[in-house]
Amino acid sequence: MKLITHNMLTSKCLKGVLTGYPLAIKATNIKVNEVDFNPDFISRIIPKLDWEVLWKAADSIGHSEGLPQTIERNYDEDKEFLKKAHRVLLEVEVEEGYLTCPESGRQFPITKGIPNMLLTEAEVQ
């Protein structure tokens, strides 16, 4: 699971949970997998992100180094910044671990890089 995906996932499907966001990450295995850098895509995705959530998530798994806590206004012209954002968003992968709902504490396992957000039949009744 990439941090770009973490930025978009919630646990509000759980009963009684209002926002279910952001999910906390507990990672037991992290991989860094280099992929092609596309500055246009990174510039496009940044307005869709909750940057604070991204920074905290990166920090919680030890990959926030060099990443600014807030975004500058002309971020799309700052290639160094876009490269760092690219790395955190698309290259850092949580292979094993779990996501935790901030309100209920319900855990969702991540195995082989794929988060399992399924509830049990008891939870959807």
Partner 1 sequence: MSEYRFFKMWRRYLMWFAHENVDFRYAEMQSILSMLNIPIKFVEKPCVNKPYWIVEFPTEDCIKKVASRSVLLKNCIELWSRATTAERLHSNLKNALINSSGKWIIPENSIENISDTHICPRELLLACSDDRKSFKVEVETFCKHFTMKEKVDKIENFSYLPLHGPVKLKNPDITLAYLEFYGVDPNNVPDQPHDLFFGKWVADGQRELIQTHSLKKRQFIGNTSMDAQLSLIMANQAQVNTGLIILDPFVGSGSLFIAAAHFGAYVWGSDIDFMMLHARSRPTRVGQKVRTEEESIKSNMKHYGTESRYLDVVVSDFSLTNWRGDLKFDAIITDPPYGVREPTERIGIDRENYELSDEHLVNHVPSKVDYGLPHLYSDLLNFAAKHLEIGRRLVCWYPLVREEYKEKQLPSHPCLKLIANSEQVLSKLTARRLLTYEKVSDEVPNMPVDPNAGTHSFREKYFSMGETTRRERKEKKAEDMAAYGLRQFQDIINDVS
17 near partner 1, judged by CB under 8 A = no
24 near partner 1, judged by CB under 8 A = no
DSSP 8-state secondary structure symbol assigned to residue 32: E
Start-to-end Cα distance in the chain: 28
80/42 Cα distance (integer angstroms): 12
Site for partner 1 in 53-112 (CB under 8 A): 90, 111-112
| The one among 28, 38, 77, 79 contacting partner 1 by CB under 8 A | 38
Query: What residues make contact with partner 1 under the rule CB under 8 A?
Result: 1-2, 4-5, 7-13, 21, 35-36, 38, 40-41, 44-45, 48, 90, 111-122, 124-125
